[in-house]
Chain A
Amino acid sequence: MAPTLEISEPKAAADPMLPVPCRIRRVRNETADTFTWELQPADGPARFAFQPGQFNMLYVFGVGEVPISISGDPADTQSFRHTTRAVGVVTRAMRQLRAGDVLGVRGPFGSAWPIEAAAGRDVVIVAGGIGLAPLRPALCRLLAQRRRYGRIVLLYGARTPQDILFPHELERWRGKFDLEVQVTVDRSADTWRGNVGVVTTLIPCAPFEPANAVALVCGPEVMMRYTVRELQRRGIAADRIHVSMERNMKCAIGFCGHCQYGPAFICKDGPIFPFDRVESIFGKAEV
């Protein structure tokens, strides 16, 4: 029998499905299909607090709503950022919006990268394609408290040199003595002199101490599958590898049912999971 629940009086809480109008302050094109917005609540700047790895639901007037990770620096108190790839109906409509336009925002939602728990350890960040966007706030925070961590390694794979996200920032980060940044592309024309190959090829020689490392992984599911395999081969324990999962999502508060991944709701239990929590279904087809 289902245990009964006490039905309480409705509280005057904010409607969780009602967006807050936010204004685009700046649009920056990152690659041919990817752009970054800087946003502020429409009725004036207000502190938007979030944890690295969390996402917002962005609503385009009359078109629809999509979950998009927050890509800004959590220390930024003036605005928040989203980096989006235009691939679907809503994200293509988003691409048509300009500075000054207003959209609806709900959030932030979901679990965060374990930045606090990683203190005292090496941190390995492995990103594929647009997967770098939700990891950017994590790296910003790690760098802001650099002394609390051991080695920090960022391994990034893009499809082609033209698809590399945040190239100037990557170059700036690569110039730092206390950060190891390696970039690779799946394929390139003759002009590219950097690494060619999938991002997993960078893992075997990356400088970190597996017994004392935490890994943060975000990218396409197939990329994460091989990345986790390589990280485990290096000796990082499953509960110290964190993956960011993606599924269809309509509400972000556990009511619509779309984002179920086995027993988990990606919107509220994820999107970031310690790998041991999803290991039994990870890589199974069509779950």
Chain B
Amino acid sequence: MKSAPLAVKRSDKAVLQAEDLDMLIQNLRKRGHQVIGPTRREGAIVYEELASAQNLPAGWTDEQDGGTYRLKRRTDGALFGYAVGPHSWKEFVHPPAQRLYRARRNGKQVEFLPETPPAAKCAFLGVRACELNAIAIQDRVFLGGPVVDPGYQSRRQQLFLIAVNCTVAGGTCFCASMNTGPKAASGYDVALTEVMESGRHYFMTEAGTDRGAEVLSQLPLQRATSRQEQIAADMVSQTARRMARQMDTTGIEELFYRNYEHPRWDDVAKRCLTCANCTLVCPTCFCTTVEDTADLTGQHAERWRKWDSCFTLDFSYIAGGSVRSSSRARYRQWLTHKLATWMDQFGTSGCVGCGRCITWCPAAIDLTEEVRALREGGPARGAAPTGKETKP
């Protein structure tokens, strides 16, 4: 069933047949966007540039748990039938390595050459509700203060965001309890819900911005029936109910501020490898370090900014040693920042409940469990026997 373009406005619900999704990608590419979306690579679903809808991981899903990630086949051809993988969108807006400037020395003169802002404009396809929240959080970090990060601002300003509401709850997801998903509430240009019912495969579309409506209006849409709207809405609300993990955020700042010396920090330190995986997969972690390079002549130097992690010893190094030398202090810093001090700094939690840090932790440390233990003072599940009782 083919249909002519249908003019839609913000918040209008319309149906796009799954076979026509590629037209959305091609439309954005024609508008000069580099379309980034999920694709299957090396046994994981990662975010890369998409040439067409063919690159999407059709018929794949994932199994996730603490320290576990496996792709497996679905019985259908769903294009977005999985949860988030090891990548997050931050790598395209807040790149892992970025040159800050080049410096040139000529005798007693030194010149600093600024970087030109990036030209490429990106469209992200398949942004989950938790990830939209993560982008909104990084916006507050890099654009919300008196000083703005010019590179971030330039990339961010050109972004076109296509959200996909989650119809599958990942094994480590807890967005429902963080009030960040599974339905995209705001911050998108277009939102899609993938529906498969009685042999049909289509997307319920909704424009969140005028430019989103403009892009959708060029696609072969059909008006959504109220039954179709209901099916799509039900699928998303079921996802929320199927979420196995949750985090109780009641009074969470106070919980952390009161518990700097809680024995649980010793307990988690025995399990934490301080490998920094959690900070790298986290869609909101923003810390960076700088690296200086000079060429052999000594006349040219460059300064680079690179992702860093509060789990390294270097991170807190000042004359005389590292402030946070124990893994206990480094884990405490990470979790306290993420869930408590972040609120003081940016008026929002630093956690969106995506579960990546649980999945990609080689020691399967689960922050929802750590928070519960801080509240209850209980022993760790799967913790190595310590021979000592921990007291609340």
Contacts and interface: CB of A to CB of B under 8 A. Distances in A.
Interface of A: 1-5, 7-11, 13, 15-21, 23, 42, 59, 61-65, 85, 87-88, 100-104, 246-248, 250-251, 253-258, 260, 262-263, 265, 268, 280-281, 284-287
The 9 closest A-B pairs by CB, nearest first: A62-B294, A257-B287, A286-B329, A263-B344, A62-B301, A2-B136, A263-B341, A102-B110, A2-B348
Contacts of A59: 103, 303
Interface core residue of B140, B142, B148 (most chain A CB under 10 Å): B148
A21 B110 contact: yes
B109 A260 contact: no
Nearest to B181: A1
A247 B105 contact: no
Interface in B105-150: 105, 108-112, 114-115, 117, 133-134, 136-137, 139-145, 147-150
Nearest to A249: B318
B110 A1 contact: no
A13 B148 contact: yes
Contact of A255 (B142, B157, B294, B352): B142
Interface stretch (B229-237, B238-246, B319-327, B377-385): B319-327
B316 interface: yes
Given A104-B103, A257-B308, A258-B316, A62 B286 contact: no
12 contacts: A3-B348, A10-B154, A19-B112, A23-B108, A59-B103, A88-B319, A104-B110, A254-B141, A255-B141, A260-B333, A284-B260, A286-B329
B287 A258 contact: yes
B147 A1 contact: no
A5 B140 contact: yes
B274 interface: no
B273 interface: no
B390 interface: no
B136 A251 contact: no
B150 A286 contact: no
B153 interface: yes
Given A15-B150, A18-B101, A61-B105, A256 B287 contact: yes
Nearest to B261: A284
Nearest to B105: A61
Contact of B109 (A87, A102, A257, A263): A102
B198 to A, nearest CB: 34
A248 B105 contact: no
Contacts of B11: none
Interface core residue of A59, A65, A247 (most chain B CB under 10 Å): A59
Given A18-B112, A281-B260, A2 B315 contact: no
Given A61-B105, A256-B308, A286-B324, A3 B341 contact: no
A283 B197 CA distance: 61
Contact of A250 (B117, B288, B326): B288
B89 to A, nearest CB: 14
B187 A4 contact: yes
Contacts of A42: 109-110
B136 A5 contact: yes
Given A2-B137, A63-B294, A103-B110, 11 more contacts: A4-B139, A5-B144, A10-B153, A11-B148, A21-B110, A88-B319, A102-B108, A254-B145, A255-B149, A263-B344, A287-B329
A257 B144 CA distance: 15
Interface residues of B, number: 76
Contacts of A248: 314-318, 323
Nearest to B350: A2
B156 interface: yes
A53 to B, nearest CB: 18
A247 B318 CA distance: 6
A249 to B, nearest CB: 9
A9 B344 contact: no
Interface string B351-372: 0100000000000000000000
Interface of B: 100-101, 103, 105, 108-112, 114-115, 117, 133-134, 136-137, 139-145, 147-150, 153-154, 156-157, 179-180, 185-187, 257, 260-261, 286-290, 292-294, 298, 301, 303, 305, 308, 310, 314-319, 323-326, 328-329, 332-333, 337, 340-341, 344-345, 347-349, 352
Nearest to B352: A2
B114 to A, nearest CB: 5
Contacts of A23: 108
Contact of A258 (B257, B289, B301, B344): B289
A120 to B, nearest CB: 30
A248 B321 CA distance: 10
Nearest to A256: B288
Contacts of B187: 4
A263 B105 CA distance: 40
Contacts of B105: 61
Nearest to A23: B108
A256 B109 CA distance: 29
B287 A7 contact: no
A123 B144 CA distance: 36
Contact of A7 (B157, B345, B349): B157
B310 A257 contact: yes
B166 to A, nearest CB: 15
Contact of B345 (A11, A13, A265): A265
B301 A100 contact: no
Nearest to B329: A286
Interface core residue of A2, A254, A262 (most chain B CB under 10 Å): A2
B168 to A, nearest CB: 21
B315 A258 contact: yes
Contacts of B137: 2
Given A61-B105, A62-B293, A7 B110 contact: no
A8 B153 CA distance: 8
A255 B319 contact: no
Nearest to B101: A18
Nearest to B288: A256
Contacts of B329: 285-287
Nearest to B298: A62
B175 to A, nearest CB: 10
Interface core residue of B140, B315, B340 (most chain A CB under 10 Å): B315
Nearest to B159: A7
